[in-house]
Amino acid sequence: MSSPAKIPSGVPGLDEILGGGFPRERVILIAGGPGAGKTILSTQFLVNGAMKYGDSGVFVSLDESKEHVQREMSQFKWNLDELEKGKKLAFVDASPIRHLPGEVKLGKMTVGKRDFSLISLVEGVRKGFESVNAKRIIVDCLASLTFNYPDPIQRRTGILDLIEALAETKATCLLTTELRSSGLERGVELEEYLAHGVIVLQTIQVGKSFLRAVQVVKMREAQIDLQPRPYRITENGIEVYPSETIF
């Protein structure tokens, strides 16, 4: 059997602990706490794909407007507006679904907020994908959707529906989400079981110091390095140090 096709992450050092890159056409979860660099890593993946490999991409934002994302990412000299004008990037602002009323009218039908939110999100992803024939998609941040599902069974169904919709595009997709607990002994969240791969970004105390650590928790179709490895957020984005340890 031939080895699974891989797609470069665009993050220096990360592909080395991923076994060569992200498995193509899979849906990968990027989990991390506030300021961990989830959006940076995901955007780096899109920008690298567009500029080095000609891969068009879609940025789906559930939290921030396009203007805010562009301004925040400009610190790394990534011109998202230029990529968008060149049809290498489509931006889908899905943040308004967070402010929907409890029920929404669709013709004569009444649809609950969470169902309408998921329908709207999936439709936005599909339109963005079709507009540029995307090879890479990111959805930032999944927590804004999952908070609509306090019931675990309903949340599982909603996440699966989204993952299936993303998988149908045949693009390589990154979903970001928030860590609800931290540390090497943290609890595993439901969405980690459902995604095809999971990468965790967190800050760990080592002695009197705090270090940023990235860990590939799982990755289908890949031989991975399970050890937490240090990383930094630099002026060029995220850099991982695959030969260094945090202990």
What residues does each domain of the chain span?
A: 6-240
Homologous superfamily (CATH) of 6-240 is P-loop containing nucleotide triphosphate hydrolases (3.40.50.300)
- Give which of 77, 106, 80, 78 is closest to 92, Cα–Cα: 80
Segment (H or E) for 192: helix 190-194
* Beta-strand relationship, 22-23 and 27-32: unpaired
pLDDT tens column, 176-195: 999 876 666 666 788 999 99
Q: Binning pLDDT at 50, 70 and 90, where does residue 236 land? A: very high
pTM: 0.89
Distance CA 184, CA 200 (A): 10
pLDDT tens column, 17-69: 999 999 999 999 999 988 999 999 999 999 999 999 999 999 999 888 899 99
Query: Which residues touch 123 (CB under 8 Å, ≥6 apart)?
Result: none
| pLDDT surpassing 50 at residue 103 | no
Q: Binning pLDDT at 50, 70 and 90, where does residue 152 land? A: confident
More confident residue, 50 or 114: 50
Distance CA 132, CA 117 (A): 23
For position 149, what pLDDT does the model report? 79
Residue 125 identity: V
